[in-house]
């Protein structure tokens, strides 16, 4: 009986839960506190340094600080350019090494904010809120560039211009100022200091209003839309730059076996319509893919989709698995 409910999604949910506990409450296990003794300081997922009990924080935090306080000095010629770039190079190298190990699965399996949105969506479904199963392809295409704009402007341009003196110090860590993970992870450990309206300067006032609004909007949307913030998260394009080097990947053998039924797209929480395109033995890990594996679970065709780690196939689609998932979905609905 238990085996009937053991699926890839079950394993992922358990992993997400324990990852949330470790990343958000890590000091209880690793005796860490704020910036001391963190695991990597360059996590490819949104876990925040403002969480004083956390065991790690995301790569976007050091990048903004390094560009603001170090790279800008090198650009102005106040210190050697290579010396100013070295901390950023180390941060990106650490990030690259982690992407090689798990690729974009950091989003689908480990990100605290991603897990939180899935829980909210589940609650919305359970209390009877009408769900939007999939966004249209035209809307998805309009949303996709936003994450690249956020990465370029908030992570690189604003911190650099702040360090050069063209912008106020409020924008030195502009993404952190509005990031929903900052509010989520601090609230999770009982710290409400990040949910406030900062009126010390007009710009801080604007940023705090945006942050609180974005957090509330994310919760509201997550009740009926899958992964609303993940679609614009700048971590995804950061990962996409290095994704071809990742050992874990999504592969499609769509020759004559694929019936183009569209089940993979329906199952995908990120509405990646390209999944149903014909591909033969090719890595199809899309820039929006979080490697959650739902498309593989819900593919009814044997060995069309698979999750591979280097040359090893760790999970592949099958008609038997598809029927099993449908039975579970019907049981959950009842």
pLDDT digits (tens, 9 = 90+) for 97-156: 999 999 999 999 999 999 999 999 999 998 989 999 899 999 999 999 999 999 999 999
Supply the pLDDT for residue 256: 66
Q: Residue 284's CB: how many other CB atoms inside 10 A?
A: 18
**Chain length of the chain:** 334
Share of the chain above pLDDT 90, in %: 66
Q: Residue 53's CB: how many other CB atoms inside 10 A?
A: 19
Average pLDDT, whole number, for the chain? 89
pLDDT digits (tens, 9 = 90+) for 237-258: 999 998 889 999 999 987 767 8
Distance CA 35, CA 18 (A): 21
Return the percent helix, strand and coil in the chain, to nearest 5. 55, 5, 35
Structure tokens at 259: 């019936």
Band of residue 1 on the pLDDT scale cut at 50, 70, 90: very low
pTM given for the model: 0.90
On the 0-12 / 13-18 / 19+ scale of CB atoms within 10 A, 268 is buried
CB 107 within 8 A of CB 243: no
For residue 2, is pLDDT > 60? Answer: no
Supply the pLDDT for residue 33: 53
For the chain, the domains span 2-238, 247-333
On the 0-12 / 13-18 / 19+ scale of CB atoms within 10 A, 10 is exposed
């Amino acid at each position: 009986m238990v085996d009937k409910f053991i699926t890839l999604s079950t394993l992922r949910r358990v992993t997400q839960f324990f990852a949330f506990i470790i990343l958000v409450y890590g000091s209880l296990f690793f005796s860490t506190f704020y910036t001391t003794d963190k695991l990597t300081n360059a996590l490819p997922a949104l876990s925040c340094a403002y969480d004083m009990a956390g065991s790690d924080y995301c790569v976007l935090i050091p990048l903004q600080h390094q560009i603001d306080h170090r790279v800008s000095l090198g650009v102005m010629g106040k210190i050697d350019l290579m010396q100013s770039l070295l901390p950023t190079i180390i941060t990106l190298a650490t990030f690259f090494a982690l992407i090689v190990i798990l690729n974009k699965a950091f989003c689908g399996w480990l990100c605290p904010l991603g897990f939180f949105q899935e829980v909210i969506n589940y609650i919305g479904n359970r209390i009877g809120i009408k769900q939007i199963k999939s966004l249209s392809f035209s809307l998805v295409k309009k949303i996709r560039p936003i994450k690249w704009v956020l990465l370029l402007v908030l992570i690189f341009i604003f911190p650099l211009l702040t360090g050069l003196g063209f912008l106020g110090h409020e924008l030195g860590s502009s993404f952190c100022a509005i990031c929903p993970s900052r509010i989520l992870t601090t609230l999770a450990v009982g710290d409400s200091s990040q949910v406030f309206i900062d009126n010390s300067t007009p710009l801080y006032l604007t940023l705090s209003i945006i942050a609180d609004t974005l957090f509330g909007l994310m919760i509201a949307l997550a009740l009926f839309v899958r992964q609303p913030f993940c679609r614009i998260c700048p971590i995804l394009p950061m990962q996409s730059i290095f994704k071809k080097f990742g050992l874990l990947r999504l592969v499609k053998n769509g020759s004559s076996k694929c019936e183009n039924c569209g089940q993979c797209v329906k199952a995908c929480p990120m509405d990646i319509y390209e999944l149903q395109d014909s591909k033969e033995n090719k890595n199809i890990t899309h820039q929006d893919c979080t490697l959650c594996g739902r498309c593989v679970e819900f593919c009814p065709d044997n060995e069309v989709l698979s999750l591979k780690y280097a040359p090893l196939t760790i999970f592949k689609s099958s008609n038997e698995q598809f029927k099993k998932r449908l039975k579970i979905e019907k049981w959950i609905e009842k």
